[in-house]
Chain A
Amino acid sequence: MHMIIKPKKGLQLVDFKELREYKDLFYFLVTRDIKVRYSQTVLGGLWAIIQPFFSMIVFTLFFGVLAKVPSDGIPYPIFNFSAMIAWTYFAGAITGAGNSLVGNAHLVSKIYFPRLIIPLTPVVAGLLDFSIAFVVLVGMMLYFHIYPTITVLFLPVLIILMMLAASGIGMFLAALNAKYRDIKYTIPFLVQLGMFASPIVYPASMVPEKYHLIYALNPMVGVIEGFRSILLGTVAFPTEMFLVSALISLSLFIIGLLYFKQMERYFADII
């Protein structure tokens, strides 16, 4: 192996060959995240369900029963839960990724490995919780006798989109957080606002049609509405909103990645 260490100049791109060399580390870090998350808890993996499930109950009570928010013709609990699991994943992933570099400062300042692995770990590790919660959603679908159509084959695309958006935002916040610790306090706030800017407690159909494309600039709008369409058959597949959200997700991913790569060289010095 031969290598020259010198100051990096200009635009930094991703070194895929190196990432592949460290794929085992990525795997171990993801399993670490998963194992550690619920260690020394009584309920363990059940926490993955409890959080979205109880939020769903509270929202059903206040928005579904009391405020009578429409739910695109399906029972409010499943209407809300289908969005809740996607949002829980998304919120968890950007929170985890955003704080990941600072949280692993001892690694960053002591050992070399591709830094990208750090924010990507929570994005991937979160999929397990998502899957557990998804099983509950399937149970609810059976209970309410709601069955998906053939468009369900589209599900992986939506999940990938959700991961792209989460990792893009996550990488960006992580890099920013290394320098400005304000980000740590901004994230919970962002997550809270984002929840109401996404069709979780209300359907996208409540937003006036002419604003739909602007609304879909929030990448989770396309994802959540897409989820409901293909799993619960609430509305026809929201192609336009989906395309806008997809474009945004992809852009966020690229921007986040490039920003992270540009800042990477300073991490060990400033963290």
Chain B
Amino acid sequence: MSKAMIKINNLSKRYRIGAKEQSYRTIRETIMDGLRAPVRNLAKLRKLTEFKASDDEEDVIWALKDVSFEVNEGEVLGIIGRNGAGKSTFLKILSRITEPTSGSIEVHGRVSSLLEVGTGFNFELTGRENVFLQSAILGMQKWEIKEKFDDIVRFADIERFIDTPVKRYSSGMYVRLAFSVAAHLEPEILVVDEVLAVGDISFQKKCLGKMSEVARRGRTVLFVSHNMDAVQKLCTRAIILDEGRVVMDGPTDEVVSRYLGEEMNYAGQRIWSDINKAPGSGMVRLCAVRVLDQNGKACTSFDVRDPVSIETEFQVMEEGHRLVVQLHFVSEMGNVLFISNNNLDSPWRDTACPQGHYRAVCHIPGDFLNEGKVSVTCRIDTVGLYHYMHVMERDLVRFKVSDRMDPAGVRGNYSLQWPSGGIRPRLPWTVEKAC
């Protein structure tokens, strides 16, 4: 039985997300409010660092709630979860950037975190100077850096430019150098957050190699990622965080497949029955979002040839806003496939909406989406002279698009696996024999 390197006991972290801003439309209201603002601002800013016993205050959220688990020596632990699940907060506490509200972490060993590669780089300094600065920020001593300097530069592959100011680097060179510094730390516990999103493919491979090398040497690695492939390749064990709690802890394969499966178990609709708890501002709130098939029924599974409709219901509580409802379609891997606004065909395009209940439906034609899992983010903004955002809710509904290999679709006679790509639209082609 190997020894526990990290022991997390009932860890909780509370954040104040900032009281809601009110907005004013008349000049008089704006001026009066401006005069009163200092008092209100002071109260608001003071509250940033003060918490009262009443926990259910509206603007307080628990990013982590009673999280407990252990990580053993030599283990490579993947931490997965949706945005806002508490992953980054956990890493921030572990790397001592912020402190927990309650609970504790016992750590045996030096922790180095790659929360964001390249923080602390100064663009005016040369590559060489930055290597020293960055290494020191990450906790290395001068002699340690001198010893590893040549390796760092060689790994980043920028020997020629090491005495050039970093501001003249290409972004690829910059990222390579930054990662190279981080990769040469020799921590007993390495914390990695999404760094693989940067750099080109060959460099990413280099990074993954480095991480597994660190793991092979018996070091403990905590890896936070949305990239399930990488998690499956690198980690021996994984946990799922959801709304600040650990919902599953086990071997990577099981955890990842449950996570991906669970993602799809999200219903094709989200409804807020209590308007006061619905997401939104004092002016506009979201009431419901649904994925509908061509018969108007809620549905989560579509064929590539089927049309998909996304219906959004919202309540306008204050008149006088020209509103734009925007839907973001996001792939399973977290890429935005495309974004659509209601603006173009909306009768409200140049008209302010009176109070009331509204329904906006976005029609996605058949033969447009590619195979895969799609998650929908909804955003509602006031446009015009004053632009503000009322609603920005990620991952509201999800649906799956699959291909039944029907030659009537875009696929035609192409019988292989359809290549990747966010969409698979039906486009007009002309093909003729030129001579």
Interface residues of A (CB under 8 A from B): 1-8, 22, 24-25, 27-29, 31-32, 35-36, 39-40, 106-113, 179-180, 263, 265-266, 268-270
Point out which of B48, B101, B140 has the most chain A C-beta atoms below 10 A from its C-beta: B48
Please tell me if the beta carbons of A7 and B129 are within 8 angstroms of each other in the complex: no
- Specify which of B15, B96, B142 is in contact with A112 (CB 8 Å cutoff): B96
Report 16 cross-chain contacts, Cβ distance below 8 Å, ordered by A residue: A2-B108, A3-B106, A4-B104, A5-B93, A5-B107, A25-B136, A29-B133, A29-B136, A32-B129, A36-B122, A36-B124, A108-B97, A110-B120, A111-B120, A112-B96, A265-B98
Please tell me if the beta carbons of B101 and A7 are within 8 angstroms of each other in the complex: yes
User: With A and B bound together, what is the CA distance between A3 and B95 in angstroms?
Assistant: 11
User: With A and B bound together, what is the CA distance between A179 and B107 in angstroms?
Assistant: 30
Please tell me if the beta carbons of B100 and A7 are within 8 angstroms of each other in the complex: yes
Closest to A31 in B: B129
Closest to B119 in A: A110
User: With A and B bound together, what is the CA distance between A32 and B137 in angstroms?
Assistant: 12
Q: Assuming the A-B contacts A6-B104, A36-B125, A110-B115, are A269 and B98 also in contact, with contact meaning beta carbons closer than 8 angstroms in the complex? A: yes
B-side contacts of A180, CB under 8 Å: 45
User: With A and B bound together, what is the CA distance between A1 and B129 in angstroms?
Assistant: 29
Please tell me if the beta carbons of B109 and A1 are within 8 angstroms of each other in the complex: yes
- Specify which of B15, B105, B124 is in contact with A4 (CB 8 Å cutoff): B105
In the complex, B102 has a CB within 8 A of chain A: yes
Q: Assuming the A-B contacts A106-B119, A111-B120, are A24 and B97 also in contact, with contact meaning beta carbons closer than 8 angstroms in the complex? A: no
Please tell me if the beta carbons of A111 and B49 are within 8 angstroms of each other in the complex: no
Least distance between B127 CB and chain A CB atoms (Å)? 13
Please tell me if the beta carbons of A107 and B101 are within 8 angstroms of each other in the complex: no
Least distance between B295 CB and chain A CB atoms (Å)? 49
User: With A and B bound together, what is the CA distance between A25 and B98 in angstroms?
Assistant: 20
Least distance between A118 CB and chain B CB atoms (Å)? 11
- Specify which of A6, A27, A110, A179 is in contact with B97 (CB 8 Å cutoff): A110
In the complex, B343 has a CB within 8 A of chain A: no
A-side contacts of B136, CB under 8 Å: 22, 24-25, 27-29
Least distance between A178 CB and chain B CB atoms (Å)? 10
B-side contacts of A31, CB under 8 Å: 129
In the complex, B132 has a CB within 8 A of chain A: yes
User: With A and B bound together, what is the CA distance between A106 and B178 in angstroms?
Assistant: 15
Report B108-128 CB contacts with A as 1/0, cut-off 8 Å: 111001011001101011000
Least distance between A119 CB and chain B CB atoms (Å)? 16
Point out which of A6, A8, A109, A112 has the most chain B C-beta atoms below 10 A from its C-beta: A112
Q: Top 6 A-B pairs ranked by shortest CB distance? A: A6-B104, A25-B136, A112-B96, A268-B98, A5-B105, A110-B119
Please tell me if the beta carbons of B49 and A179 are within 8 angstroms of each other in the complex: yes
CB contacts under 8 Å to A, within B70-112, are 92-110
- Specify which of B107, B119, B120 is in contact with A3 (CB 8 Å cutoff): B107
A-side contacts of B95, CB under 8 Å: 111-112
Please tell me if the beta carbons of A1 and B110 are within 8 angstroms of each other in the complex: yes
Interface residues of B (CB under 8 A from A): 15, 45, 48-49, 92-110, 113, 115-116, 119-120, 122, 124-125, 129, 132-133, 136-142, 165, 188
Please tell me if the beta carbons of B48 and A270 are within 8 angstroms of each other in the complex: yes
Closest to A112 in B: B96
Least distance between A113 CB and chain B CB atoms (Å)? 6
Please tell me if the beta carbons of B125 and A35 are within 8 angstroms of each other in the complex: yes
User: With A and B bound together, what is the CA distance between A112 and B105 in angstroms?
Assistant: 16
Least distance between A180 CB and chain B CB atoms (Å)? 6
A-side contacts of B93, CB under 8 Å: 5
Least distance between A268 CB and chain B CB atoms (Å)? 4
Other CB < 8 Å A-B pairs besides A32-B122, A35-B124, A179-B45, 15 of them? A2-B107, A5-B96, A5-B99, A5-B105, A6-B99, A6-B104, A24-B141, A28-B133, A29-B136, A110-B116, A111-B95, A112-B96, A179-B49, A268-B98, A269-B15
Closest to B143 in A: A24
Please tell me if the beta carbons of B104 and A268 are within 8 angstroms of each other in the complex: no
Least distance between B143 CB and chain A CB atoms (Å)? 9
Please tell me if the beta carbons of A107 and B129 are within 8 angstroms of each other in the complex: no
Please tell me if the beta carbons of A270 and B125 are within 8 angstroms of each other in the complex: no
Please tell me if the beta carbons of B49 and A270 are within 8 angstroms of each other in the complex: yes
- Specify which of B45, B100, B116 is in contact with A6 (CB 8 Å cutoff): B100
A-side contacts of B97, CB under 8 Å: 108-112, 268
Please tell me if the beta carbons of B116 and A266 are within 8 angstroms of each other in the complex: no
B-side contacts of A113, CB under 8 Å: 137, 139
B-side contacts of A263, CB under 8 Å: 49
Q: Assuming the A-B contacts A28-B133, A35-B125, are A5 and B113 also in contact, with contact meaning beta carbons closer than 8 angstroms in the complex? A: no
User: With A and B bound together, what is the CA distance between A40 and B251 in angstroms?
Assistant: 54
Closest to B109 in A: A1
Least distance between B54 CB and chain A CB atoms (Å)? 19
User: With A and B bound together, what is the CA distance between A28 and B141 in angstroms?
Assistant: 11
Please tell me if the beta carbons of B120 and A39 are within 8 angstroms of each other in the complex: no
Q: Assuming the A-B contacts A24-B136, A25-B136, are A111 and B113 also in contact, with contact meaning beta carbons closer than 8 angstroms in the complex? A: yes
Please tell me if the beta carbons of B49 and A8 are within 8 angstroms of each other in the complex: no
Please tell me if the beta carbons of A268 and B45 are within 8 angstroms of each other in the complex: no
Least distance between A27 CB and chain B CB atoms (Å)? 8
B-side contacts of A7, CB under 8 Å: 99-102
User: With A and B bound together, what is the CA distance between A108 and B98 in angstroms?
Assistant: 9
B-side contacts of A110, CB under 8 Å: 97, 115-116, 119-120
Closest to B189 in A: A1
- Specify which of B92, B141, B142 is in contact with A268 (CB 8 Å cutoff): B92
Please tell me if the beta carbons of A111 and B138 are within 8 angstroms of each other in the complex: yes
